Every structure is written in C-alpha cells, then in structure tokens.
Amino acid sequence: MKNIMRVAALSGAVALALAACGSAPDDEATSGSSSAPSTSTSAAASNSDFKGCIVSDSGGFNDKSFNESGLNGLNEAKKTLGIQTAQAESTTDDAYAPNLANMVSQSCNIIVPVGFKLSTATGDSAKANPKVDYAIVDATATDADGNPITLDNVKPLEFDTAQAAYLAGYVAAGMTKTGTVGTYGGLKISTVTVFMDGFADGIAKYNEVKGKSVKLLGWDKAKQDGLFSADPKTAFAPGSGKANADSLVAQGADIILPVAGGAALDALTTAKANPGTLVIWVDSDGALVNPDSSSIILTSVMKLIGAAVNSAVTDAAQGKFDASPYVGTLENEGVGIAPFHDLDSKVPADLKSEVDQLKADIISGKIKVESENSPK
C-alpha cells in the first residue's frame, strides 16, 4: 500500500486524539441499519465527487477499538482529500447486508466494511457491484459457505498482530509479580487468536531467556483452545467478559490481555477492583482511549487500522486502487506496542532494551513469530 507509511503517523494521532477526548466519533454516524447515513462534502473541488463510505460491525463506532479506528481513518481522508463520506453503524449482525446496500445506493466509490462478520456480506455486495471498490478490515471476502474468495474490487486490510503481541507477552512475563498472566477472547476466530499466539510465544521466550516459568492462563497455543465468551451473540459486548476477567484474577493472574472488543472494558473493571492487576489493551493505544484507566494499562498491542483505511481510500480517490492484500507488520509499522505511559517508570530499563532488541530481531528475520492464525 503506497501511502501507508506517509499517513500512518498523522492518521494514528488524529484517531487517538479523537478517542482521548471521549466524544462520539462523528455526528454523521447512524445508530442502526434502518436510518440512511448522512453525507458531507468538502470544498476541495478535485475530490468533491468522490465518496468514501464505511460500515461497522455490531460493536459500533464508539467501541474504542477497530470500528472507531476505521472511522477515524476515513475521517482523516475526508479532511485531507476533500472527499464526501457516509457511514452506517450496524447494531445487529443482520444489518450488514442492508447497510452495504445502503452505501451502494448512495453512490459510494469505496466502501470499508469493518471486521470478519462482514466477510460474506462484502463478498456478495462486491460481486453484485464490480464498479465499487471495497477495503475490508481484518478479513477477506467470503462466499456463502464462508470460503475466502478473491475479487478484483476487494482489498483485504489485515494485520499480523502476533508480532506485536510477542513483544507484549515478553513485557508481561517481565512485569508479573505473581508469575501468572492471563488472556481471554470474544470469539475463537483467527483475528482474535492471532494475538493470543504471539502473546504465548513472547512469554515462552522470556521463560527461555531468563530461566523462569511464568504461566499463561486462558490460551493453549498447541491445542488452539482457551477462554472465550459463553454467548457468541454478545461475545464483544461490554459485560460479556467480566466472568472471564474475574476468573483469571482468581487463579492468580495479575496481568490480563483481553482480545474482546467492547468486552475488554470488563478487564479494566476487574483490574480496578483488584489492586496490583494490570491490563494490556489491543487494537488502539488503550491508555489514550481509556484515559480514566491509564494507570492500570501497561501497554497495548496496536493495529494501525486508521492509517490503513486512510491509505486505501486515498489510493482509490487517486485512481490507484488495487486489490493486493495489505498486511501490517512491525517492519512496515502496521502493528506495534504502545508506550508504557503512566507505568513507564515501573518498567525496568533492561526490560525495555530487551524488547527493543526483540523487535529488531523480528524485523530482521532473526526471530520468526509463527502463528497459524496470521494473515496468509
């Protein structure tokens, strides 16, 4: 993706600043599938006829995670390019196809579906509308049976978060006081378990280097099984992760990695109720999107979703769209770990240096982070 490096820093900063303010992502957002999304047009004449659009999954645009990051990326493209935008916020899983159809009916030039839940609806919509471009976040288009399909007008925007989670796992192993850390997910799907795989390997690396035996609860990489929401329908909803977070702490975990969308907020609630417990956020910089919890967020495993969306929309607006998959890595700065923020003084300097070296070794290929759940 030609523009990813150029826009990464700006888009990411705007996304985090918006989230940190605690305001709604944008007053154009709709609250459900039945309402027609509104649009706005910039005065920039060169792109005034181009429209970039986005459809959230059922987590909504105020999830402090991937939906909000995607919207922020689109809004940054709107600001810098002078394009029109439209968006549809899905409140239920059956809203995806109608919301995509709504975007098509509004003459969107590119549509950004956010999340794997929109995979089949995206495949159907893209096949029916070959002149519309699509950039799907964290997924590929699939057919009705869930099989991945390649289409000339669909660009997957994926992220090898195992690489960044490896670094976070090493940090967690180096910072635990109990010798036990934990993780839980929303659903057992590849975009969730890829975090867990990297986290497990980072802990294993620390144990190997230091001769320690830090224990990971909630995920067994060899068995590809672990701790997830009991109800798939509410897997990423706030409240659905509370029992899992409480269970991990009860078993001795003092650092938790929740890979669960809105249900990650439950880890913060549990940590606040159990002094000494820390959380590692995912997708965005958790200390910035949850400023009231910055004192208990050790770091975050970040995906630069906003920058990837911005770049895809920019390419499309400039007539440079191509369907080649984008995969964010440590090398291209599509993934990474966040600063330690409030806890920076608590992290030993030698641990920071070791993590920096591990990052360099992953980028150089000296260390290979392998997960069957990484983008292929």
Task: For 260-279, write each residue's pLDDT tens digit.
Answer: 988 999 999 999 999 999 99
What value does the mean pLDDT take over residues 28-41? 35
**Please, are residues 111 and 102 in contact by the beta-carbon 8 Å criterion?**
no
pLDDT in tens, 92-116: 889 999 999 999 999 999 999 999 9
Residue type, 206: Y
Maximum alpha-carbon separation in the chain: 63
Distances (CA, A) of 184 to 11, 96, 146, 202, 275: 29, 26, 25, 16, 20
**pLDDT tens digits, 131-153:** 999 999 999 999 999 999 999 99
How much is the pLDDT for 46? 60
Percent of the chain past pLDDT 70, that is, above it, reads 88
Q: Tally the residues of the chain.
A: 376
- Indicate if the pLDDT at residue 37 is higher than 50: no
Measured distance CA(61)–CA(89) in Å, rounded: 7
297-303 and 278-283 beta bridge pairing: parallel
- And the tokens for 214? 């830090």
232 torsion bin: left (phi>0), alpha (psi -120 to 50), beta (else)? alpha
Highest mean pLDDT: which range of 15-19, 58-62, 201-205: 201-205
Cα 168 to Cα 28: distance, rounded to the nearest angstrom: 36
Q: What is the mean pLDDT of the chain?
A: 88
Domains by residue range for the chain, with CATH? 4-159+305-328 (3.40.50.2300), 161-303+334-364 (3.40.50.2300)
CA dist 300 and 165 (Å) reads 9
pTM for the whole thing?
Answer: 0.82
Pairing mode, if any, of strands 225-226 and 180-185?
unpaired
